[in-house]
Structure 1
Amino acid sequence: MAAIEPNPKICLHLRSNSFRTAPHPLVSQFEEHLNRLKSSESASSASSLSHKVCGLQDLQDSSDKLLQLSTTQQVLAQDWSQKCVDELLDGSLRLLDICSTAKDCLVQPKESLYEVQSAIRRRGTEAALTVGAANYLASRKNVKKAIRMALGNIKGIRNDLIVKENDMLSMLKEAEAVTVSTFESLLCFISNQKGQSKQSRWSAISKLMQPKRVACDSQERGTSEFEKVDAALKSLIRQKHASTDNLQGDLENLEMFIQDLETGVECLSRKLIRTRVSILNIFND
């Protein structure tokens, strides 16, 4: 008797309750990472942001492993329309664009930050310190402008992230939504934005994620590393003779935060590229 080929849809069991078989371990792993990010506390501090970026790295690793399964590839290649493929590829490009913006917004202030630190360590003149502070604040102004544009773009893509079905496309779109929301929290944190309307900002994506809070909406969070340095340097420029004792510690904390996030976002970028390549390979074979 000829062997009966297993149905790849049943083997993979993409979160359908109609099958009695257990989901593939990689599907369970993917959902575990996804649910952990969706249910985690708002990224309203440097440490929580770093933790969520690491969580996104784990989610992308899990996504890529899932895409490497032959059963997954069969399901995608056989059942997906060109529209579904385009949606997924467009989404991966959006994530890479947002990721690139986040990297730029972390890198841009670094040079002027070093300039201020150097002036303090060398006990430079007030003029040198003031110039360094002014350069840093100018860089921050440019960063905030770029972030406003990025947040506007994010607002424009939320409707594309609403999940309607329990299938592989929806799973990957959920991952995209969680990634977008974390980047949004990061960008809001960098630009010191808060107090915006939760209803208007999250009306679409909340249908998917139902987050407890988001960083931009938090009125109770403490002062961020960026806020502390911004305020201190503005005060220094106004007062001329302001003490730099506390400023040095704030600058060092901000430097470590930027370095930590920059490393994490760079690693995440590589993983996003790898996942995109995996998707392209499935549909180009």
Structure 2
Amino acid sequence: MAGKSGSQTMQVHSRSISLPARLNPNFVHIEAELNKFKTWELSSSSSSSASTVIPSGFKSIQAGLISLVELYNSIEEILIHSPATQQALHKHKHVKLVEAALDRSVGLLDACGNTRELISNMKDQLQELQSALRRRVGLGGDYSSMECKIHAYTSFRKKSKIDIAKCIRELKRMDSNIIESFNSIVDSDHEQMLMVNNVLRESSAITISIFRSILLFLSMPVMKTKPSSSSGWSLIRKLIPSASSDQQIFNEVGSVDIALCNLHRKIQKSDAKIDVQMAFRRLEILDATTKDLETRLDCLFRRLIQNRVTLLNIRTC
């Protein structure tokens, strides 16, 4: 993450996910899912210091996205197929709860759309770079074309860090407003509405947390070094985070950065065929990772749209 904003971590919520004692089976299931996410959030939001964030691993993010879609499916069940919930929501005094959830849904859809766009752009850059390295392996000879594509990729990475920093600031703003926007909306003595309120509040917080993890995954921390005099290749070095000997913070994105930096060093000294092949393999892995994230975010985006449609239908009935 470029600049100070990239090193800021969002507060990990320690709210008690405790719904009223007399629960129907749907709420019992959702409570269990929410508590699983609480554990996921704590484990995936650790930081090594005030200035370096350790991005969640791809497998953790993948599992989080899968579970999040299932959570929204369960929420859809209680909003549509629970007569008690329907009856309570249609009462005039609970209109504010639905309105707050609708406002939140707009922000979540925007955040999901922005994250999808960042991943799509990275995927395009990766495929361009893969093509350049593939041609270099097959034809041999001049490295200039390949170097040009690598420069384009590193320039993209630098710009994307600025965009990601903006997205994370917006997520932080949304996150800080969750408790304020949902608390005091529902009467504490209305058990059904207290359950719905807790579910909508916690699911929004979890969704924000997962988007944050994806953005941190896409943007490795910047290494604090003096500017290099070797042309645009200083960009690559700046993209590679510093790490202590007992700390492993590189993910698939960082592995590509390292491979490109090593490739440049070898190009300057001798034949770099092996390093080209290594960089190409790491690009393939990252490309597959971005495609998977894109697919899962598409699925989540559809669920978020359906959730908003359901809330709109409840408001208009």
1:248 aligns with 2:280: yes
Please report the TM-score for the alignment, with normalisation by the length of structure 2.
Answer: 0.71
Task: Give yes or no for contact 1:229–1:250 (8 Å, CA) kept in 2.
Answer: yes
Aligned partner of residue 91 in structure 2, secondary structure: helix
Displacement of 1:81 in angstroms is 4.0
The one-character-per-residue Cα deviations of 1:106-127 (angstroms, maximum 9, x if unpaired) are 1102222112211222225411
1:122 aligns with 2:126: no
Aligned residues: 245
Amino acid of the structure 2 residue aligned with 1:112: Q
- The equivalent residue for 1:277 is 309
Task: Give yes or no for contact 2:69–2:300 (8 Å, CA) kept in 1.
Answer: yes
Correspondent of 2:162 among 145, 152, 171: 145
Correspondent of 1:49 among 56, 61, 66: 61
Task: Give yes or no for contact 1:120–1:244 (8 Å, CA) kept in 2.
Answer: yes
CA separation of 1:177 and 1:221: change in aligned 2, threshold 3 A = farther
The one-character-per-residue Cα deviations of 1:39-76 (angstroms, maximum 9, x if unpaired) are 12317211111111111111111111111123211111
Aligned partner of residue 183 in structure 1, secondary structure: helix
Report sequence identity in percent: 31
Amino acid of the structure 1 residue aligned with 2:253: F
After TM superposition, list the pairs within 5 Å mapping 1:116-195 onto structure 2. Answer: 116-123=129-136, 125-162=142-179, 164=183, 166-193=194-221
Displacement of 1:143 in angstroms is 1.9
- The equivalent residue for 1:105 is 118
Segments of 5+ residues of structure 2 without an aligned counterpart are 1-17, 46-55, 189-193, 224-245
Please report the TM-score for the alignment, with normalisation by the length of structure 1.
Answer: 0.79
Structure 1 consecutive aligned stretches of length 4 or more whose deviation exceeds 3 Å: 79-83, 163-167, 219-222, 234-242
Amino acid of the structure 1 residue aligned with 2:310: S
Separation in 1 of the partners of 2:150 and 2:302? 33
Correspondent of 1:63 among 75, 79, 88: 75
Separation in 2 of the partners of 1:149 and 1:61? 30
Alpha-carbon RMSD = 2.3
Task: Give yes or no for contact 1:108–1:143 (8 Å, CA) kept in 2.
Answer: no
Displacement of 1:136 in angstroms is 1.4
Separation in 1 of the partners of 2:30 and 2:285? 34
Segments of 5+ residues of structure 1 without an aligned counterpart are 1-13, 196-218
Separation in 1 of the partners of 2:68 and 2:61? 11
Separation in 1 of the partners of 2:93 and 2:153? 49
